[in-house]
Structures are given as structure tokens and as C-alpha cells.
Amino acid sequence: MKRLFDEISARPAAQRAQGLEERLVLKAEFDELLAEHPFVLLPSAVSGHSWNLLVSCDLAADKFQLVSQERFGLDTRLIKRA
């Protein structure tokens, strides 16, 4: 297991990702928003027709009712082909 971990950690992408959490403050900002609000709605960076909904499970527990749920489907048009 250690050998596999070391091999993956040696890859260029893994090395670029090391320390990323220290350079990005987005998670902390979203955590602060979700500590005060049960729902946070953000416009999508990919499409002007989509929104991202962040939910604080603790604060939103009694504030919504599930009406329907669909299986997640990934839009493959956004995947770059090699």
C-alpha cells in the first residue's frame, strides 16, 4: 500500500495538488456561509443556465421536503477527448 501511495504521490498532478488547501480559501468561505444559512445558491461557472446548491444538513433538516430525486447524469459533452 505504501508503494502505491508513493507512486501516486510522485505524479506531477499530485505534486501540484500538495498544499492546495493552504492556497485556496473557498472551502472556508463556504463553511462560514453554511454555518449561518441552511442553503447557499451559487451560479454555475460552466453554464449560465445552472446553479449549484450547497446545503447545511444540520441547519436545513426541517426546512425542506423531498419531492423527487433523479439519478445523477454526467454531461459527457464537457469531457475533453484525447
pLDDT tens-digit profile of 4-51?
A: 878 888 888 888 777 766 666 666 677 888 888 999 898 888 778 889
Report pLDDT for 27: 65
pTM for the model:
0.45
pLDDT at 21: 66
Residue 55: strand pairing partners: 39
CA distance 60 to 34: 10
Query: Residue 27 and residue 21: Cα distance in Å, rounded?
Result: 8
pLDDT at 54: 86
Question: In whole angstroms, what is the distance from residue 35 CA to residue 56 CA?
Answer: 7
Binned at pLDDT 50, 70 and 90, residue 61 comes out as confident
